């Protein structure tokens, strides 16, 4: 049972994820952004002028990396700024949409907090030619009936500051158990952290930023919560996969219409009546058709094995519609056999991409077990 605690007045603790712009950050973004822009312009120029579309294909990964580096220098943390202030009577949270001006606020009153729990939060780092290692941080969880507030600490002094602020307001319990899986479960189902058994002595701070090859801490997650968590997690994954499959199917359909109407009529036909596999066809037709499901669907656990067959019919129908639309404006040879020919390539590429995605994901997920004979949880 919670005891009445005598409170003392302390300085508020504040936090905001707003990133302030800096000159160095701007120059950093400008340098890599210009590099990406120049490489993109040159690649498109070579493709449109000389037909060397392969340059754009080869340059695309480099352009993506340059854009990613440029984004690191921008003061952009999303249009919604999250902040909070820890006062004497609770934690005052605020979400401010800088674009619309909308502000949402939420207060976690200390009177409603049953317990503050401090535990271990491990991170696993993979190192090349090595099984990797774990680095441990602390996590503080405020458990109430309405919501769960948590904060990760990378140093003991910051944790001590929070504990000193809270200890006269809510009961604080320390435990050297691993809370990572429990916090993940809290996104899917209610996790009652008041069930944690611990001590009033700080047994966590000494482990902050320490390292080990194996996770030396026992995960905390009651079996009943674990079962419910796994059930809801898998249900969510299935729903997300179904949505991704539906969205990708529509993308392929509309792109099939667009690509057929624009690319196919102007592509040369050989003496046997088959389309010539130019750079435009390889990159903008076969390449894009293969990449869309490869990126958005094939790596998902519940992706259906027969998706390539569905895509085959969807893209073929879209191609015929696109060619039909184009025929109202320009004259060109029959594309019936061309569409059949191209979609044979499509389904072969989709099947190979599906197999490659599944094998790659298996290796990534089980990397440590395959190469080092151990299982990694995170």
pLDDT digits (tens, 9 = 90+) for 256-275: 999 898 888 877 877 766 77
Q: Is residue 44 within 8 Å of residue 36, measured between CB atoms?
A: no
What end-to-end distance do the CA atoms of the chain give, in Å? 35
Greatest alpha-carbon span in the chain? 92
Domain topology for 80-221: PH-domain like (2.30.29)
Residue carrying structure tokens 């060397």: 52
The two structure tokens encoding residue 18: 């707003």
Domain ranges of the chain: 23-72, 80-221, 231-369
Q: Is residue 164 within 8 Å of residue 78, measured between CB atoms?
A: no
pLDDT digits (tens, 9 = 90+) for 92-136: 999 988 778 889 998 888 888 989 999 999 998 877 666 778 999
**E-assigned strands of the chain?**
13-16, 80-86, 90-97, 103-109, 113-125, 133-144, 148-153, 172-178, 211-212
- Going by their DSSP bridges, the two strands 90-97 and 133-144 should be labelled as unpaired
Instruction: Determine the Cα–Cα distance for residues 305 and 312; give it in Å rounded to an integer.
Output: 13
pLDDT digits (tens, 9 = 90+) for 42-94: 988 887 787 676 677 678 778 888 988 888 777 665 578 889 999 888 899 99
Q: Is residue 349 within 8 Å of residue 293, measured between CB atoms?
A: no
Residue carrying structure tokens 């958005």: 296
Name the strands in the sheet holding 13-16, side by side, starting at the edge strand that comes first in the sequence.
Answer: 13-16, 80-86, 90-97, 103-109
Q: Is residue 293 within 8 Å of residue 279, measured between CB atoms?
A: no
Helix axes 288-296, 336-365, angle to 10 degrees: 30
In the Cβ-directed half-sphere of 287, how many Cα atoms lie within 13 Å? 14
């Amino acid at each position: 049972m919670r005891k009445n605690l005598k409170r003392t007045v302390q300085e508020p603790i504040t936090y905001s994820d707003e990133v302030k712009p800096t000159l160095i950050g701007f120059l950093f973004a400008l340098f890599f952004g210009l590099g990406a822009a120049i490489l993109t312009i040159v690649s498109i120029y070579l493709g449109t002028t000389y037909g060397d579309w392969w340059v754009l294909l080869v340059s695309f990964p480099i352009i993506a990396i340059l854009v990613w580096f440029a984004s690191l220098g921008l003061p952009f943390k999303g249009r919604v700024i999250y902040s909070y202030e820890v006062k004497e009577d609770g934690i005052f949270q605020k979400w401010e949409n800088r674009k619309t001006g909308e502000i949402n606020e939420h207060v976690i009153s200390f009177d409603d907090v049953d317990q503050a729990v401090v535990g271990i939060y491990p991170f696993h780092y993979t190192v090349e030619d090595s099984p990797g290692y774990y680095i441990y941080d602390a996590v503080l969880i405020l458990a109430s009936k309405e919501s769960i507030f948590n904060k990760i600490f990378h140093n003991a002094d910051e944790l001590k500051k929070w504990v000193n602020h809270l200890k006269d307001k809510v009961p604080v319990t320390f435990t050297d158990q691993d809370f990572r899986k429990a916090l993940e479960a809290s996104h899917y189902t209610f996790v009652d952290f008041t069930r944690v058994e611990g001590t009033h002595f700080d047994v966590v701070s000494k482990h902050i930023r320490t390292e080990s090859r194996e996770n030396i801490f026992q995960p905390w997650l009651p079996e009943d919560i674990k079962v419910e968590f796994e059930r809801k997690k898998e249900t969510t994954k299935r729903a997300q996969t179904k949505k991704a499959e539906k969205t990708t199917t529509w993308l392929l359909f509309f792109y099939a219409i667009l690509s057929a109407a624009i690319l196919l009529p102007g592509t040369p036909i050989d003496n046997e009546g088959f389309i010539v596999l130019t750079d435009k066809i390889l990159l903008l037709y076969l390449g894009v058709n293969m990449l869309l499901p490869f990126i958005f669907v094939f790596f998902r656990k519940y992706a259906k094995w027969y998706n390539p067959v569905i895509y085959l019919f969807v893209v073929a129908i879209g191609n015929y519609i696109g060619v039909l639309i184009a025929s109202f404006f320009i004259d060109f040879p029959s594309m019936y056999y061309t569409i059949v020919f191209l979609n044979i390539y499509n389904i072969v590429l989709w099947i190979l991409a599906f197999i490659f995605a599944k094998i790659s994901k298996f290796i990534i997920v089980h990397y440590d077990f395959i190469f080092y004979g151990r299982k990694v949880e995170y």
